[in-house]
């Protein structure tokens, strides 16, 4: 398993396609989710500060199997976005390695804290977030991606005391 920067032709499109396909097949989500991911990826691709924002791909045997983005929320807060681990890579530690890379980058970039948004019920992701020091900060019931979901905001401090 290799974690590398998102910098090869096809990486951006793979992130969008993989999210669209996996969330549709595993959770029954509609294309509004894929559109959200496309916007996040497009915004990153067209306007990001490489000293404060980064994105990574997990490769397993030469195949893309995961991704994560670290983007600026504000001057002191980084946001973890679009974490995904393809079923082919589950159990290989890809999620932990991607989140570790993202948190390390955010800390090195000078952010004081990190946040992320997800939905309840994604238990594998929740376990990874908790293992990396994130704590659930708020929950909101909403209708998104063709379903009633509970949106969650998770936070963690990055400063080492």
What average pLDDT does this structure show over 100-113? 98
Indicate the number of domains in the chain: 1
Q: Tell me if 12 is assigned to some domain.
A: yes
pLDDT in tens, 114-132: 999 999 989 999 999 999 9
Does the pLDDT at position 35 exceed 80? yes
Per-residue confidence (pLDDT) for residue 101, from 0 to 100: 98
* 72 in Cβ contact with 117 (< 8 Å): no
As a whole number of angstroms, the distance between CA 22 and CA 27 comes to 8
Per-residue confidence (pLDDT) for residue 159, from 0 to 100: 80
Q: Tell me if 39 is assigned to some domain.
A: yes
Q: Tell me if 146 is assigned to some domain.
A: no
CATH at 75:
3.40.630.30
Q: Tell me if 24 is assigned to some domain.
A: yes
Q: Tell me if 85 is assigned to some domain.
A: yes
Domain that holds residue 104: 2-111
* 104 in Cβ contact with 91 (< 8 Å): no
What average pLDDT does this structure show over 96-109? 98
Per-residue confidence (pLDDT) for residue 39, from 0 to 100: 97
Per-residue confidence (pLDDT) for residue 29, from 0 to 100: 95
What average pLDDT does this structure show over 11-35? 97
Q: Tell me if 126 is assigned to some domain.
A: no
Does the pLDDT at position 161 exceed 80? no
Query: Against a cut of 0.85, is the pTM above it?
Result: yes
Q: Tell me if 148 is assigned to some domain.
A: no
pLDDT in tens, 57-66: 999 999 999 9
Q: Tell me if 31 is assigned to some domain.
A: yes
């Amino acid at each position: 398993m290799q974690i590398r920067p998102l910098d090869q032709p096809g990486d951006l499109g793979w992130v969008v396609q993989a999210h669209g396909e996996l969330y549709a097949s595993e959770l029954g989500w509609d294309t509004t989710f894929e559109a959200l991911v496309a916007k996040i990826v497009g915004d990153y691709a067209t306007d990001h500060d490489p000293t404060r924002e980064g994105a990574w791909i997990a490769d397993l045997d030469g195949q893309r199997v995961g991704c994560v983005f670290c983007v600026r929320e504000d001057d002191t807060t980084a946001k973890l976005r679009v974490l995904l681990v393809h079923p082919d890579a589950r159990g290989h530690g890809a999620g932990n390695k991607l989140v570790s890379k993202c948190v390390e980058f955010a800390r090195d970039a000078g952010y004081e804290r990190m946040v992320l948004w997800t939905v309840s019920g994604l238990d594998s992701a929740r376990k990874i977030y908790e293992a990396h020091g994130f704590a659930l900060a708020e929950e909101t019931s909403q209708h998104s991606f063709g379903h009633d979901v509970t949106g969650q905001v998770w936070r963690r401090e990055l400063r080492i005391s």
